[in-house]
Structure formats: C-alpha cells, structure tokens
Amino acid sequence: MSEIEEPKTEYLDMDLLRFTTAGSVDDGKSTLIGRLLYDSKSIFEDQMESLERTVKIGDGQVNLALLTDGLRAEREQGITIDVAYRYFATPNRKFIIADTPGHIQYTRNMVTGASTANLAIILVDARSGVVEQTCRHSFIASLLQIKHLVLCINKMDLVDYKEEVYNKIKRQFEDFSSKLEVPDIRFIPISALKGDNVVDKSEKMAWYKGPTLLYTLENVHISSDANYVDCRFPVQTVIRPQTNEYHDYRGYAGRIEGGVFKPGDEVVVLPSGFNSKIKSIDTLEGPQEEAFPPMSVCVHLEDDLDISRGDMMVRPLNQPQSGQDIDLMICWLNEKKLRLGGKYAVKHTTRDVRCIVKDVRYKVNINNLHRIEDDKEISLNDIARINIRTTAPLFYDSYKKNRMTGSLILIDEFTNETVGAGMII
C-alpha cells in the first residue's frame, strides 16, 4: 500500500456519522431532531409517554422539541441554550447529533458542537429566507472544515409548499456560499412539524425530486474526509505490562490522527528525530495489520527509544511543520477578554506547553465575513486571527489539512478554564 492509498474498505468503520444542527432562533432545529428521532422509531417508550404528558402544540401534536431541550431554563424559554447531544441509529448507520443554540451569544456553543462534526444541517425559515444567522453559522461550519452542509428550508407548510419559495432561498444561499470552503452543499425543502421530507417523502412537494433528509444522512460519503496521506501518531502514554509474558514489552498508546500505519513501516519520533520500525500494532482485539484514523492503538517499535507523552511518530519523508511561532484563527470562549501579551496554557494533540499572545491580526465580522483590522479587543464569541509563541515547539499541520493536528485550545492557567479554540492556519 502506498502512502496515498486508503485503507481496505472492509476495515473502515462507516457506521457513525456526527452531525450538528444550526440556524436562527425558532427555525425549528430541536423540532427537526425530535422528528428524526420520532419517525425513525428511536425514542424509548417511557420518553414517549413523558412527552405525551407535556403541553401539546397546534392541532394536538406533541411538542417534539422537548426531546432535545432538556434543561429547565430551555423548556421555560422555549429555546436551546446548551449543546444537546443525542444518539440514534438506523439499520444503515449510527448517528451522534449536536443540537446547538441559534442565539449570537452562544456562538461558542456552536463551535463546540461543530468541532467534531462530519456534516452540518443549517435550517432556514421559509418565510424569512437567508438571514445573518444563516451566514454566520455557515461561515463557522466552513471555518471548522465541515465537508458536508445541508441547507434545510423548513416550515414549507407555512408557505403552501411553493416551489418558487424554495428556489428563491436556494439562489440566495448559493450566492453567499460561493465565498465558503465547503465542497458538498445540498438543499432540502422540509416541514419538521409535519414531517415532510424528513424521514418520509412529502406528497405535498411532488416538485422536489431529491432525497429525504434521513436518506441523505444515511448515505452521505464521509470515509474520504479523513486524512489517510499524512501519518501522524501523537503518543498519549507508555505501556509497560508487569507480567512474565510481556516482561520486555514497551508500547506507545494513542490515537491515529492521520495516515495509515503498518508493521514494518519506518517511523521517526519527534522531537528527538530517532528512527525505528514498527514491530507490531496491538489492540485489545489483538494485533492489527494496519491502523488508521480514528483508531486507538498501541505501537510496539523494534528499538528501545526514549519516548514519552507529547511525542509524535511520523514518516521520515512526510513530517509535520514544527515551530513556536504559530498563526491561528481563534474562537474566544470566555467572558474574560483575550489579553495581548497574556500567557496561557496550550493543549495540542497530547502535547502541553505554555504560550504568550504576540499579536491580534484582525477580527472577523462573521455576518458578512469582512475583516476588522482596527479593533483588537477579543471578547466572548469573537473570532479573530492571532499569533502566539509557545515555550516549546509544536508538531502541527494546517487545520485545513488535518483537523486534529491543526487544532489546539488555550487554557487560563489560574482558573483552568478553556478560553479559546484555535485552528492553525
């Protein structure tokens, strides 16, 4: 297998899709997820009984939004505040949903929910069309390198299921999305409340010839989204079994963050630069012929090297960038403002260092994507480009190339709060 060849398909775990929902307040995100769970028969009987005892909405229908709005404050206000994670499965695929808030003051919550997503569902109210929140959430999805975006034009029942309304909103979004870096954008007209085109095809929108939302989620191709080219294995811990059978065994455990590793492959360990070959790749299920993202494995080398947490195994001819001066886009997650010249702890893969913020290059107006270069004050939910200098080199790729080795978090050393999520440029 060459370095650019994908691993064998029979080993690929195609079963799990992580997706996030976003949109303006009252666009129906929680109702849509409730509809997906309800119509796909993914609700337990006790959940259903509890739901049916709650206040019903128009036409005596159950309020499906309550399946995700779990906090008391959310139920009282009728809005989503926290990121709600839900799990469900169909015969074709398992799903993890992150239902994120629509309010601008919860931008950090959306970044949290979308950071691990393969796909983003952006909801648009058919009556309002594309609004600032639509643009903001789409930009964040693009910034976080989500490869698949589904624009669901919701509440089609309130515009008499008119095709011209769907076409108008589709053109509006296509004009805006030309500025985004999202390779796969799809459009689906739905009514989350009535169930049209969510799980079942709508009889009232015969003019729409595309698939339903659930069919799209079940069949979207995500295996090629991972980076199988650049081999990256950050070491998390050293395994030394204290048994007679494995008395001389020294393995290095962690998660594969890029590329395909196989026994016999030559690797170089950073930062030491020592070379060795992989003797075996071990898991609880036994030795593996190959390892690829996102497998967690234990790598056993032929040579006894001094390797510890924070080191990284890579291929000799395909190494990541290494440096202490790093440019990144940051989403600020804390109520305390970013301090120019401030010192923060940094977590990058398994490596812990400290850093100082050297410069704020510009802020981004996430409603129109314009740069604001004369305002260097970074507050809660702001997105900006900054430069940091770390106390020790990091081994990194650009976020565009690898979401795992291209991301880091900043931590307040005094409160231990995560204050910023960064994407390396």
Tell me the longest C-alpha to C-alpha distance in the chain: 74
The model carries a pTM of 0.82
In a domain, 4, yes or no: no
Q: Is the peptide bond before 294 cis (omega within 30 degrees of 0)?
A: yes
Residue 6: the pLDDT is 47
Looking up tokens 């395994």 gives 239
Give me the tens of pLDDT residue by residue for the chain, a chain 425 residues long. Answer: 344 444 444 434 447 899 988 877 777 777 888 888 877 776 655 555 655 555 554 554 556 665 555 433 434 444 444 566 788 888 889 998 887 765 565 677 778 778 889 999 999 999 999 988 888 888 889 988 999 999 999 999 999 999 999 999 999 999 888 888 899 999 999 998 888 999 899 999 999 999 999 999 999 998 888 889 999 999 999 998 876 666 678 999 999 999 999 999 999 999 999 999 999 999 999 999 999 998 999 999 999 899 999 999 999 999 999 999 999 999 998 999 999 999 999 999 999 999 999 999 999 887 777 899 888 899 988 899 999 999 999 999 999 999 999 999 999 999 999 999 999 99
The CATH number of whichever domain residue 63 belongs to comes to 3.40.50.300
Of 247, 280, 314, which residue constitutes the final position of a domain?
Answer: 314
Whole-number pLDDT of residue 78? 44
Query: What pLDDT is stored for residue 77 in this prediction?
Result: 44
- pLDDT reported for residue 353: 97
CA 411 – CA 384 distance, rounded (Å): 17
| Residue partners of 401: CB distance under 8 A and separation at least 6 | 227, 230
**Residue 46: predicted pLDDT:** 56
Shared domain check, 297 and 170: no
Cα distance between residue 50 and residue 192, in whole Å = 20
In this structure, are 170 and 64 located in the same domain? yes
Are 240 and 337 in a shared domain?
no
The last residue of a domain, from among 224, 243, 269: 224
Instruction: Say yes or no: 258 and 111 in one domain.
Output: no
Task: Please state the φ and ψ torsions of residue 113, each to the nearest 5 degrees.
Answer: -70, -30
The answer to whether position 2 is within a domain reads: no
CB-based contact 278:300 (threshold 8 Å): yes
The answer to whether residues 72 and 194 belong to one domain is yes
Residues 207 and 108 reside in one and the same domain: yes
What CATH number should be reported for the domain holding residue 326? 2.40.30.10
Q: How many CB atoms lie within 10 A of CB 219?
A: 11
Which domain covers residue 248, as residue numbers? 232-314
Last residue of a domain, one of 281, 314, 347: 314
Residue 324: what pLDDT?
A: 97
**What's residue 245's pLDDT?**
66
Same domain, 306 and 364: no
- The answer to whether residues 288 and 150 belong to one domain is no
187 vs 11: CA distance, rounded Å: 32
Residues 19 and 154 in one domain: yes
> For residue 44, what pLDDT is reported?
55
Predicted pLDDT at 31: 82
Token reading at 77? 């206000």
